């Protein structure tokens, strides 16, 4: 992480024209702090005429010190995957619904950002998962995931079958609607809805959560973040693997999905008063009296 920050990327939620006004206001504020402002090319399509540098997203991470993302958690997840290889820290501004990751708001953004750009922040490193799909010992697809990798049935009504191995050892043969392989970040997303545990983001672990398993004794399992997970498909067709609801790949019988921790983590910057437990209380409505 390069300090002090000298250049900053502004990235807005995709296909959200209403992002233009707050983003231009933020760009003007950042320029007034003598920061070089870069806008990714997709975001720039909503801004009209402006004086800021425009670059494709795959080039943004090579020229900026920090990226500010306006949108919801989904937007931040997508940008984190894209910029992780360049080790660009992210600041999230919430314009979505939940905001587990994007904890700044437009109401407090200038005061909070000024402090953070001067180095007054809490850095938090979040795990990413890398996945390879092997077919006849040949890699046919690969992707990153921030929240989860999900194997699930496609347009069939019956359960799917698969085998799970951890570090080469057989764990179980499962019949279920699917399987969620979740990072600690993803533990408050789909995995939570399927009955998984809430995991603190600092934990170096991976969680496996069966979706509607045929065997009622099947429960979520937490393993080391350094484990190698293998999922071997036993259903011939209509099965899909999905990554953060962002990308997907259709699977065939005997396809092998290999999931490991990605070498790079995503770095999210929070204001000094950030508290993960406060976020849980607010977002899970635990602060409401009975």
What residues contact residue 136 under an 8 Å CB cut-off, 6+ apart?
Answer: none
Could you tell me the two tokens for 22? Answer: 């707050």
Q: What is the per-residue DSSP string for 32-73?
A: HTTPEEEEEHHHHTTT-S--SEEE-HHHHTTT-SEEEEEE-H
Q: Is the pLDDT of residue 286 over 80?
A: yes
Task: Give 239-273 pLDDT, tens digit per residue.
Answer: 999 999 889 999 999 999 999 999 999 999 999 98
Q: Which residues participate in catalysis according to the annotation?
A: 73
Q: Please state, for a pLDDT cut of 70, what percent of the chain lies above it.
A: 98
Domain 7-127+265-283: give its CATH architecture.
Answer: 3-Layer(aba) Sandwich (3.40)
Name the CATH code of domain 129-261 (choices 2.60.200.30, 2.40.50.100, 3.30.450.40, 3.20.20.150): 2.60.200.30
| Residue spans per domain, the chain | 7-127+265-283, 129-261
Report field, pTM of the whole predicted structure over 0.85: yes
**CA-to-CA separations, 15 to 43, 45, 59, 79, 207, in angstroms, rounded:** 8, 10, 20, 14, 32
**β strands within the chain, DSSP E:** 7-12, 36-40, 53-55, 66-71, 90-94, 121-126, 129-135, 138-145, 148-153, 160-166, 169-176, 178-182, 205-211, 221-224, 229-233, 239-243, 247-251, 256-261, 266-271
Please report the pLDDT score of residue 117 as a whole number: 87
pLDDT tens-place string over residues 15-68: 888 889 999 999 999 999 999 999 999 999 988 899 999 999 999 999 999 999
Instruction: In whole angstroms, give the CA distance from residue 225 to residue 184.
Output: 10
Q: CB–CB of 12/71 below 8 Å? A: yes
Confidence of residue 162 (pLDDT cuts 50, 70, 90): very high
């Amino acid at each position: 992480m390069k300090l002090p920050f000298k250049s900053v990327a502004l990235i807005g939620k995709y296909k959200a024209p209403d992002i233009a006004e707050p983003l231009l206001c933020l760009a003007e504020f950042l320029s007034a702090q003598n920061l070089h402002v870069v806008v990714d090319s997709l975001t720039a399509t909503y801004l009209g005429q402006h004086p800021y540098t425009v670059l494709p997203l795959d080039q943004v991470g090579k020229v900026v010190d920090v990226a500010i993302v306006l949108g919801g958690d989904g937007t931040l997840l997508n940008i984190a995957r894209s910029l992780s290889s360049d080790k660009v820290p992210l600041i999230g501004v919430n314009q979505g619904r939940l905001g587990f990751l994007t904890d700044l708001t437009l109401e407090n953004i200038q005061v909070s950002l000024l402090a953070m750009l001067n180095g007054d922040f809490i850095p938090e490193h979040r795990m990413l998962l890398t996945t390879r799909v092997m077919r006849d010992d040949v890699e046919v697809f690969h992707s990153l995931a921030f929240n989860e990798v999900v194997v699930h049935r496609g347009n069939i009504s019956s359960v799917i079958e698969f085998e799970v191995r951890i570090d080469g050892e057989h764990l179980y043969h499962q019949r279920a609607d699917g399987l969620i392989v979740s990072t600690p970040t993803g533990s408050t997303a789909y995995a939570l809805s399927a009955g998984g545990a809430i995991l603190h983001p600092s934990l170096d672990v991976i969680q496996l959560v069966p979706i509607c398993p045929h065997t009622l004794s099947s429960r979520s399992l937490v393993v080391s973040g350094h484990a190698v997970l293998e999922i071997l498909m036993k259903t011939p067709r209509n099965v899909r693997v999905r990554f953060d609801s962002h990308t997907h790949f259709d699977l065939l019988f005997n396809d092998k999905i290999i999931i490991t921790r990605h070498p790079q983590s995503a770095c999210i910057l929070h204001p000094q008063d950030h508290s993960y437990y406060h976020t849980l209380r607010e977002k899970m409505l635990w602060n409401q009296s009975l």
